[in-house]
Amino acid sequence: MVAIIDIGSNTIRLSVYDISSGGDIRQTYRQKSVAGLAGHVDKHSFLTDEGVRVACEALNRFRAAVSGMNISETHLFATASLRNVLNASRVIEDIKRETGYDVIIISGEEEAICDYIGVANRMSISDGILTDIGGGSTELVICKGGHIDKAASIPIGALSMYTKYVSAVIPTKAQSEKISLETLKRLEVIKGKTLHTMCGVGGTMRALYKLNNMIFGAPPDNRAVLVKNAKKILSLITTDTKLMVGRILQIAPERIHTITPGLIILNTIIKKYNCKTITICESGVREGYLIRNVLHRDIGKTGTPVTLNVSGCKGS
């Protein structure tokens, strides 16, 4: 079995995978820690000692959780959580000393490519845009003809926008406009006109489909969200805040402060690219990293996709 740990700006996640002799992948265990590392970055763009402590505590809990499992390899990668800080080298040294784990920082483009590979090995993604709204960055992949046309990362995320602009739990109208305007400005580097189909991955998108299913009465396993519903959910958070806060606390309590900035980023992307449909995929960057950097397989090299099974695995 192989363990993959993703050190994100908001959440640190552990996933354990069983790899069959035929190359199929089954997720057998998962655990997460809402570390909020982006909130531990000081004004000099340094991750604070407290942030390092929080990260190391989460990683040592993960180590204890998998200690009885037959893990053959453990791979750790960090995304915007460390690539956006100036003391990343010292942080990596501290993590190694305190946990024994080696951490690799991947670029935004590499993260976007891993997102794509994780999705493409689970579902068809031919033309459209893949979106991963993380805590400290947003990855975007424009797909044409079943291939990557452009993969990019912009340095805004649900937690970083909350930290930068929001003074309470829910942003004011003026604060929401600032988040939307910065998102729009950052999107200028990614050329694209009409991209009707969106595939979403990551925590913000998972929270979106759960809210959608709760509010609009869809089955719990539904992963399709109408664009008008995504807009309606954002509107409801500001017009019926008490009701929506209660619902967010039911489905994703750890995202009570980040879901609204995340949805503002999402709706700005939807408007810019004229998206019509959204489908959320359960597989993403960790599965893509496993396939690309551990199993060393890219889309198309094996002729057919591998099977990615994440249903029924243990953990949170």
In whole angstroms, what is the distance from residue 306 CA to residue 141 CA? 21
* Same domain (yes/no): 141, 276: yes
In whole angstroms, what is the distance from residue 229 CA to residue 227 CA? 5
CATH code, 204: 3.30.420.150
**Helix or strand run (H / E) with residue 148:** strand 147-154
In whole angstroms, what is the distance from residue 112 CA to residue 106 CA? 10
* Same domain (yes/no): 128, 254: yes
Nearest to 63 by CA among 22, 100, 10, 106: 100
In whole angstroms, what is the distance from residue 74 CA to residue 250 CA? 33
CATH code, 72: 3.30.420.40
Contacts by residues 181-186 (CB-CB < 8 Å, ≥ 24 positions apart): 182/156, 183/138, 183/154, 183/156, 183/264, 183/265, 183/268, 183/269, 184/268, 184/272, 186/138, 186/154, 186/155, 186/156
* Same domain (yes/no): 252, 154: yes
Torsion sign over Cα 145, 148, 154, 160: positive
Q: How many domains would you assign to the chain?
A: 2
Amino acid 297: pLDDT: 78
CA angle 31, 37, 42 (to 5 degrees): 170
For tokens 């424009």, the residue is: 142
In whole angstroms, what is the distance from residue 263 CA to residue 131 CA? 12
**Would 24 be classed as within a structural domain?**
yes
* Same domain (yes/no): 80, 97: yes
In whole angstroms, what is the distance from residue 128 CA to residue 144 CA? 7
Per-state percent for the chain, helix, strand, coil, to nearest 5: 45, 20, 35
In order of 37, 58, 259, 260, the CA distances from 169 in angstroms are 18, 25, 10, 9
* Same domain (yes/no): 56, 143: no
Helices 173-186, 158-165: axis angle to 10 degrees equals 130
**Would 112 be classed as within a structural domain?**
no
pTM: 0.88
Structural domain harbouring 73: 2-107+284-315
Helices 203-216, 241-251: axis angle to 10 degrees equals 120
**Cβ atoms of residues 202 and 263 within 8 Å:** no
Helices 259-273, 158-165: axis angle to 10 degrees equals 110
Tens-digit pLDDT string for the chain (316 aa) = 999 999 999 899 999 999 887 778 899 999 999 999 988 999 999 999 999 999 999 999 999 999 989 899 999 999 999 999 999 999 999 999 999 999 999 999 999 999 999 998 888 888 899 999 999 999 999 998 888 999 999 999 999 999 999 999 999 999 999 999 999 999 988 876 778 899 999 989 999 999 999 999 999 999 999 999 999 999 999 899 999 999 999 998 989 999 999 999 999 999 999 999 999 998 899 999 999 999 887 654 333 444 445 444 556 5
* Same domain (yes/no): 215, 67: no
In whole angstroms, what is the distance from residue 230 CA to residue 118 CA? 24
In whole angstroms, what is the distance from residue 249 CA to residue 244 CA? 8
**Would 271 be classed as within a structural domain?**
yes
**Would 113 be classed as within a structural domain?**
no
Amino acid 233: pLDDT: 95
Q: How many CB atoms lie within 10 A of CB 312?
A: 8
DSSP 290: I
**Would 118 be classed as within a structural domain?**
no
